[in-house]
Amino acid sequence: GAGVSQSPSNKVTEKGKDVELRCDPISGHTALYWYRQSLGQGLEFLIYFQGNSAPDKSGLPSDRFSAERTGGSVSTLTIQRTQQEDSAVYLCASSLVGSGAYEQYFGPGTRLTVT
Amino acid sequence: KNEVEQSPQNLTAQEGEFITINCSYSVGISALHWLQQHPGGGIVSLFMLSSGKKKHGRLIATINIQEKHSSLHITASHPRDSAVYICAVGGVAGGGADGLTFGKGTHLIIQP
């Protein structure tokens, strides 16, 4: 079946602009995660959705970052007033259920470059 | 917050060698994940384990919950095994749901 998909695959934006990144999880997966992979920091957790519960936003680096998940499926990560340090690959993953004790399936990522 | 340490950071070996990558963490977990990332490629889950040992082809993963330590072994290594191997831990033991905490990865190169 279809895996996790993300769009766009690449995004170049000017500093100060807002960007939206999209994630389509595997059908039937209730848990959805956003991660960021940058050269200096490695992989880091951003936000986690489990079903209809309130998301775990503990990894978001600033209030410029927000995410929503509509209808328990597609998720959008929004970065407002982008900064150069936001340049990274943003990865989405989904799993059947959450808790970190279930296999996660990763999307191909969106490479964000802020100029 | 869980600290995840991997070693070595870089490893170059000859084809056919037995490879071991180590991972240690500081806080009890629900599960440990081993992930693989080829250059320019996506991330693939190799193993998820919470106890004992798992084997898939030439890959073996072990975990010692008491010592908070896991190892990933590759037998009869091949150049196509060249990739970054990432250890990640998930879930706090005793409850709580959160995202994975990652090690910095081990960059493995297998030379023919």
Cβ contact A107–B102 (<8 Å): no
Based on the number of CB atoms within 10 Å of its own CB, is A81 exposed (0-12), middle (13-18) or buried (19 or more)?
exposed
| pLDDT for position B95 | 45
Chain B nearest C-alpha distance from A48 (Å): 6
**pLDDT value for B96:** 46
User: pLDDT tens-digit profile of B30-58?
Assistant: 889 999 999 888 999 999 998 999 999 99
Q: What local confidence, expressed as pLDDT, does residue A98 receive?
A: 72
* 3-class secondary structure, A66: strand
Cβ neighbours of B101 in A, within 8 Å: 45
**Are A100 and B30 in contact (CB < 8 Å)?**
yes
Task: Tell which of B6, B33, B43, B63 to mutate to test the A interface (max A CBs under 10 Å).
Answer: B43
pLDDT at A38: 92
- Per run of 10 residues, the mean pLDDT along chain A (length 115 residues) is 92 98 95 91 89 86 94 93 96 85 90 97
Question: 10-residue block means of pLDDT along chain B (112 residues)?
Answer: 91 98 89 92 92 96 95 97 95 60 95 96
**Which tokens sit at A20?**
């939206």
pLDDT of residue A110: 97
pLDDT of residue B48: 92
Give pLDDT, residue A86: 96
3-state secondary structure B33-87: EEEEECCCCCEEEEEEECCEEEEECCEEEEEECCCCEEEEEECCCCHHHCEEEEE
Q: What is the pLDDT of residue A51?
A: 83
Neighbours of B108 (CB within 10 A): 21
Q: What is the pLDDT of residue B79?
A: 97
Q: Which residue of A35, A99, A106 is in closest CB contact with B97?
A: A99
Other beta carbons within 10 angstroms of residue A39's beta carbon come to 8
Closest CA relative to residue B83, chosen from B56, B99, B59: B59
Beta strands in A1-115 (DSSP E): 5-7, 10-13, 19-24, 31-38, 42-50, 65-69, 75-79, 88-95, 105-106, 110-114
